[in-house]
Amino acid sequence: MDRTRPGLALLLLLACGPEGRGDTTSGTVSASSTVGTGDATTASTGGSTSATPTTSGASDGSATSAATSTTSGATTMNFASSTGDGTTEAASSSSTSGVKFDLPVEMPIAVKDIPGLLSITFYETTGQVMQYTFTVDGPELNTLLPDPLSMANRDIQGTSVEFYDVYYSDVDGVFDPNGSYLTIAGSFGAKMPAGGGLNLAEISLNYDNNAVEYGSFLASFVGLGDNYVPGSEVNAIDGNLMTHTTMGNTVDTPDQRLRVTLGFKSSLMPG
């Protein structure tokens, strides 16, 4: 099985939007909270991707950090132990829903059934890139949290008004413990002039041989509010931890969630 993320060109989608949130910085990447084992030590990916289909190659616990460097189109992650806290920002309202892309389906399997998969890491940017790692069979990915999300009811927390639920899902982001996709969805309670929330840099599958596979397909998404940056969704599959999505806020739509749903080559096109 090819577990490296494919590297097709990001030429057919919208160009990436602004970096998004005003508290976002580049450079050294720190971590907030991780759960489970199996963090990959090194991974290399090449290029960036988009098209139709779009393709590319909080629990409390110990923390890890990652730094990236880019050479000739390849992105390398180097992991090291550290601790860190995300910065807090204020944050703004119209509503926009993302369009689902058609994806190839060749005998898809559940993400949790991918051979050799140990854990899954969500890279969320709040001031710095924060790593949240969950075991394949852990409660976080196998449970849909009820609304409203809060500090006491979340898998990932960004700022003091930013809470996210992560889980296995279908292509539309609907919770499915046997789903072939991964979803991060949640709320951000602040409008402009602050930047928008749900700043997903990447999602990685971490294998027992220390290989790492980034998301390959942008399956579907929801952006809301006046600080949503349309076109930023492809940053979740470009293999670059220094770019991220900016999905807006839920101040005027408390009954809805911001959302990004990604697919992976190993679950959608196994073999």
Spans of all domains in the chain: 42-87+104-268
Check residue 106 and give its pLDDT.
62
Averages of pLDDT over runs of 10 residues in the chain (271 residues) are 37 35 37 34 31 35 33 28 29 39 68 98 97 98 98 97 98 98 98 98 98 97 98 97 98 98 94 71
For residue 130, CA distances in Å to 65, 158, 182 come to: 7, 9, 18
Check residue 105 and give its pLDDT.
53
Task: List the one residue out of 27, 102, 19, 92 whose CA is nearest residue 65.
Answer: 27
Check residue 118 and give its pLDDT.
98
Check residue 38 and give its pLDDT.
31
CA separation for the pair 139, 154 (Å, rounded)? 12
Q: Determine the distance from the C-alpha atom of residue 163 to the mean position of all C-alpha atoms in its chain, rounded to a whole number.
A: 14
Check residue 107 and give its pLDDT.
80
pTM of the model: 0.67
Task: List the one residue out of 219, 230, 227 whose CA is nearest residue 92.
Answer: 227
Helix, strand, coil share of the chain (percent; to 5): 5, 35, 60
Check residue 79 and give its pLDDT.
26
CA separation for the pair 151, 183 (Å, rounded)? 19
CA separation for the pair 32, 244 (Å, rounded)? 17
Q: Pull the structure tokens for residue 123.
A: 């890279």
Task: Yes or no: say if 21 and 247 are a contact pair by the CB < 8 Å rule.
Answer: no
Check residue 270 and give its pLDDT.
84
217 burial (CB, 10 Å; 0-12 / 13-18 / 19+) is buried
